[in-house]
């Protein structure tokens, strides 16, 4: 057996070099809560493991342009402890906080949740609804991409060879904005989403929705940005008719699978119900309730 190499670079530049020189199948390690399980099961056989947690930028949460820049390796417990992010983006923090147990929260990161590529990843619909972008470093320098462009299939990302995510950017919130993420699981804790729904919206002083983003998880091969769902809300007072249109748009966007967690019919129906409930929570938050 050839040995797996290990490096823990302390800068983004050094990490790019480690990935470039890391043999046939270098793997980034953040919290390891997906990677180590896959390693143990023999599902991944990395040539090199590059631990990105020693890079300061990957572990920081900073204010930037009125919004926040969150290191890709920041753990769930660290994000939950940040009052600023929690106040501006409670839905994202709640979505991330749903991942696993206290022990998993001590390690699991946003970058790992996204790049593992699971259609059911709980923080991803919340990130997409938030309009988050990510900063990607690679052999050709850095670039910024929308979160919804990263996962392209179960376990597959659009990251090119040698690229990794450095941080996420959450844009400035207009006044009267709110977000929420809800998931359905058969248990109360420690399970994989049957459906997840994230909604972020802003309203004006008259209560009219001026901007919205809607995202669904676990109902298609990738997390979805549901533009028709947002359209159903924008320009309305998020009344019953708008919410019914949102639910219909969410259900229409689903391309789910049948499995032991839920049938196609069930997932499609629940996607509409959860999108509607998440929109109501986001609306309450936008109204400061």
Interface residue list for ligand FAD (CB under 6 A)? 27-35, 37, 52, 72, 98-100, 104, 107-109, 111-113, 115-116, 121-122, 164-165, 190
Residue nearest to ligand FAD (CB): 112
Distances (CA, A) of 235 to 25, 65, 203, 209, 264: 49, 27, 9, 5, 31
For the CB of residue 99, give the shortest distance to another protein in the complex, in Å: 11
Q: Are 43 and 74 in contact (CB under 8 A)?
A: no
Token pair for 31: 């919290």
Which of the ranges 101-109, 205-213, 234-242, 262-270 carries the binding residues for another protein, by CB under 8 A? 101-109
Contact between 10 and another protein per CB under 8 A: no
For the CB of residue 280, give the shortest distance to ligand FAD in the complex, in Å: 23
Phi–psi pair at 188, nearest 5 degrees: -95, -15
DSSP codes joined into one string, 6-62: EE--SSHHHHHHHHHTS-SSEEEESS-TTHHHHHHTTS---SEEEE-TTSGGGG-EE
- The arrangement of strands across the sheet holding 48-51 comes to 5-7, 48-51, 26-29
148 binds, among ligand FAD, another protein, none (CB under 5 to 8 A by kind): none
Contact pattern for another protein over residues 113 through 152, marking x by CB under 8 A? ----------------------------------------
Contact between 101 and another protein per CB under 8 A: yes
Phi–psi pair at 7, nearest 5 degrees: -140, 150
Contact between 30 and another protein per CB under 8 A: no
- What burial class does residue 256 get, using C-beta atoms within 10 Å of its C-beta: 0-12 exposed, 13-18 middle, 19+ buried? buried
Distances (CA, A) of 39 to 35, 47, 73, 253: 6, 12, 19, 34
68 binds, among another protein, ligand FAD, none (CB under 5 to 8 A by kind): none
3 binds, among another protein, ligand FAD, none (CB under 5 to 8 A by kind): another protein
For the CB of residue 174, give the shortest distance to another protein in the complex, in Å: 33
CB-nearer residue toward ligand FAD: 73 or 233? 73
Q: Which residues bind another protein (CB under 8 A)?
A: 3-6, 8, 29, 31-33, 36-37, 39-40, 49, 51, 53, 75, 77, 100-104, 106-107, 189-190
């Amino acid at each position: 057996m050839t040995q797996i190499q290990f490096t823990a670079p302390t800068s983004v530049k050094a990490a790019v070099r480690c990935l470039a020189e890391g043999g046939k199948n270098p793997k980034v390690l953040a919290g390891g809560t997906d990677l180590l399980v896959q390693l143990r099961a023999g599902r991944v056989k990395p040539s090199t493991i590059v631990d990105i947690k020693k890079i300061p930028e990957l572990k920081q949460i900073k204010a930037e342009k009125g919004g926040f820049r969150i290191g890709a390796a920041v753990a769930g417990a660290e994000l939950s402890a940040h009052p600023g992010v929690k106040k501006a983006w409670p839905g994202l923090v709640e979505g991330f906080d749903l991942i696993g147990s206290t022990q998993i929260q001590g390690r699991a990161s946003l970058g790992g949740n996204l790049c593992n590529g699971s259609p059911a990843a709980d923080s991803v619909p919340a990130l997409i609804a938030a309009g988050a972008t990510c900063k990607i470093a690679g052999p050709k320098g850095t670039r910024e991409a929308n979160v919804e462009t990263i996962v392209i299939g179960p376990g597959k990302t659009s990251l090119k060879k040698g690229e990794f995510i450095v941080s996420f950017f959450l844009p400035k919130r207009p006044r009267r904005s709110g977000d929420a993420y809800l998931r359905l699981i058969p248990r109360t804790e420690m399970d994989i989403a049957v459906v997840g729904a994230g909604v972020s919206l802003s309203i004006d002083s008259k209560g009219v929705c001026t901007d919205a983003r809607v995202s669904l998880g676990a109902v298609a091969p990738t997390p979805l940005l549901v533009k028709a769902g947002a359209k159903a809300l924008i320009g309305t007072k998020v009344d019953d008719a708008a919410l019914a249109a949102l639910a219909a748009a969410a259900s229409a966007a689903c391309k789910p699978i049948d499995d032991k967690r839920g049938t196609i019919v069930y997932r499609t129906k629940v996607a509409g119900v959860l999108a509607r409930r998440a929109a109501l929570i986001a609306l309450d938050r936008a109204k400061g309730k």
